[in-house]
Amino acid sequence: MRINDDLTKPVVVHSAKLEWIPSPSAGVDRRMLYRVGGEVARATSIVRYAPGSAFPRHVHSGGEEVLVLEGTFQDEHGDYPVGTYFRNPPGTSHVPASKDGCTIFVRLWQFRERDNTQIVRNPGEGETVPVREGVEAARILFDDGQERVSIESWRPGSTVTVGNPRGLEILVLAGSLIVRGELLEPQTWLRLPQRERLEAVTGPAGAEIWIKDAPLQHPDVLQMPA
């Protein structure tokens, strides 16, 4: 399966308008944003857990990066409410579930070799950093020099420009913005190739954005099994 696999082209996916696709585990459905591979895939997805659903224990051989969008995600290590961000590096395992249901944003098989940092950022955590014009607040969730992941609050009715030396990926969490004349609302995903800067105008409520500044595929990305 190949979905939005040309990393040289800009991509906008209004995920809230996509159909849910069942996963192999009952009660767990997906909206696929980017995918290369079958059930084991290099993938970016929105995943929905129905109340009481769970996925069997599995090892993340290629790493897993997650942001909780709705409800409370759980595993044997604890509960992760809305706004929790975590990285499970290659070789980690868990039993993901949700007692009351949840929706999460997930990136799989996109870790680099030797990226072994396991972190959990609770809602509101992260180092606050200086902001660019049009941005009210920004906090870093992860930055190892190779990629930088942050949450930003953009002011209402503002023009925001984001440079793009490596590649950009954003997910709209709340509010809205217009990019190239196109309205981006919550759970819209945007990916821009290297050196194509982002120019956006926020709506009347502003916008909250998850943003990753990193190569769209690292040169030393972990290789999937043949």
> Which pLDDT value is given to residue 96?
92
Strand-pair partners of 162? 198
Amino acid identity of residue 161, one-letter, is: T
DSSP string over the chain: -EES--TTS-EEEEGGGSPPEE-SSTTEEEEEEEEEESSSEEEEEEEEEPTTEE---EEETT-EEEEEEEE-EEETTEEE-TT-EEEE-TTEEE--EESS-EEEEEEES-PBTT----EEE-TT-SEE----TTEEEEEEEEE-SS-EEEEEEEPTT-EEEE--SS-EEEEEEEEEEEETTEEE-TTEEEEE-TT--EEEEEEEEEEEEEEEES-SS-TTBPPPP-
Structural tokens at position 169: 């990926």
Number of residues that this document lists for the chain: 226
pLDDT in tens, the chain (226 residues): 999 999 999 999 999 999 999 998 999 999 999 999 998 899 999 999 999 998 888 888 899 999 999 999 999 889 999 999 999 999 888 899 999 999 999 999 999 988 999 999 999 999 999 999 999 999 999 999 999 999 999 999 999 999 999 999 999 999 999 999 999 999 999 999 999 999 999 999 999 999 999 999 999 999 998 7
Asked if 29 contacts 21 with a C-beta cutoff of 8 angstroms, the reply is yes
Q: What are phi and psi of 62, to 5 degrees?
A: -110, 10
